[in-house]
Structure formats: C-alpha cells, structure tokens
Amino acid sequence: MKKRRLVMRTIILLVLGAAVAYSLYSNLTKDNKQKVAIGDKAPDFVLVDMQGNKHRLSDYRGQGVFLNFWGTWCPPCKKEMPYINNQYLQYKDKGVQVLSIDIQEPKLAVNQFAERYKLDFPIMIDTDKEVMNVYGIDPLPATFLIDKNGDVVKYHTGEMTENMIKDFMEKIKP
C-alpha cells in the first residue's frame, strides 16, 4: 500500500517534471531554432541565373555546393563576394560549385554589382523569396555547405574571411 503510493507519487512528479523541463528547454532554445539543420538533406530548388541558365540543386549531386544567400545592399556581402570568387576559381575544377542567391532585388542592381566585383560564379535572384523561406534565412549573408550527397554540413551566418571560405570549400570537396 505504502509502496504503491510512493510509486504513484514518483510517476506523477516525473511526468510533471518532464513537462516543465521540456517547456523550459523549448522556451530557452526557441530563438535559435534552424529550419534546415546540419545533417538534413538540403531542400531542392530551381532558379535561373543572370545568363538564363537553369540551376537545380540536385543536379549537383556528387559535387560539393557552396550555397550563399546575399543582397547587394548588405555591407558584409560586399566584402566577402570577391573572396568567394577567388576561391570559386580555385575549387571549381575540384568539384565544388558556388551557387549564390540574391534575395528579391532588381536585375539591374544585381548585374551592376556582379560587374563591379567581377563575379564569375552563377548568381540567381529569388524573386518571390521562396528559396529563402524554405531555408529559413535571416539575416544575410548566410551560407550553407552541402556535401556531395546533398547533406547540409554547415550553416554560417555573417561575414566570412577568405581563409574561412577556403576551409569551407575544403570541407565539401568530394
């Protein structure tokens, strides 16, 4: 009788405790929840670049993909874009592809930007912010590293140095 009571009480307290712990944990981590987490399959998408070529993410299976979200107005993007271009030229023959996605800007702005910084990698405009929504991007710049199997290896927000970019490319080299 006494034993049963103790068991009952323990169970009830455990259930309550678990509920409380879960709520507290979710409350504390609610701010840094990531839509596409490391280890997930990178969601597929199709976008057309400035030259009119279609790029489908899954077509690059077998290669590493350096997926960069950016905007012409964002100061860190301006800084890192030339670095990305340098490394792109180094790694494009080693199986690493750079796809860069501008968020909802006029073609004119993007073209002028690409010209000014002499960017060689494919640039696409996410006109309806669909890809951005799927990847849950905020703030810019944001970079996803995707390996040859199409899995997300790393997610990075904020400015990157040239060394970081090199390391990143090394990481996803097939």
Partner 1 sequence: MNDVKCECGHVNPHGTVLCEACGKVLDEQEKNKKELLDMRYEGSARRSQTYNKTIIDKIWNFFSSVKVGVWIIIVILVASTLGTILPQEMYINLPADVYYEQEYGWFGKLYYQLGLHDLYGSWWYLLLIAMLGTSLVICSLDRVVPLYKALKAQRVTRHEGFLKRQRVFGINDNVDESDLNAIKKHLKERRYHVREENGDLLAEKGRFSRWGPYVNHIGLIIFLFGGMLRFIPGFYVNENLWVKEGETAVVPETSEQFYLQNNQFILQHYDKDKDKTFEKAIEEAGEVVKNYQSNVVLYKRVSDNLPGEKPKLEKVKEYKVRVNHPLTFEGYSVFQSSYRSELKAMTFFLTNKTTNQSFGELKIDLEDPQAKYDLGNGYSVEILNYFPDFEFNKDGEPTTKSRVPNNPAFVFKMVTPDIPKGETSFVAIKQTIEPFGDNQFKMAFKGIDTKNVSGFTVRKDSSLWAIILGGIIFMIGVIQGAYWNHRRIWVQNKNGQVWIAAHTNKNWYGIKKEIETILTDTKLDIPDDQLQLENSDKGGV
Binding site for partner 1 (CB under 8 A): 2, 5-6, 9-10, 12-13, 16, 19-20, 22-24, 26-28, 30, 33, 43-47, 56, 71-73, 75, 103-109, 111-112, 124, 126, 128-131, 133-134
Tell me how far, at minimum, the Cβ of 130 lies from partner 1, in Å.
Answer: 4
Tell me how far, at minimum, the Cβ of 10 lies from partner 1, in Å.
Answer: 5
Q: Which is nearer to partner 1, 78 or 173 (CB)?
A: 78
Element of type H or E holding 19: helix 2-29
Q: Which is nearer to partner 1, 5 or 93 (CB)?
A: 5
Q: Which is nearer to partner 1, 27 or 32 (CB)?
A: 27
**167: phi then psi, degrees, rounded to nearest 5:** -60, -45
Tell me how far, at minimum, the Cβ of 102 lies from partner 1, in Å.
Answer: 9
Asked whether 141 and 74 are in contact (CB, 8 A), the reply is yes
Tell me how far, at minimum, the Cβ of 9 lies from partner 1, in Å.
Answer: 5
Look at the alpha carbons of 12, 14, 15, 17 in this order and tell me if their dihedral is positive or negative: positive
Asked whether 35 and 155 are in contact (CB, 8 A), the reply is no
Residues 59, 37: Cα–Cα separation, whole Å: 21
Q: Which is nearer to partner 1, 17 or 158 (CB)?
A: 17
Tell me how far, at minimum, the Cβ of 111 lies from partner 1, in Å.
Answer: 7
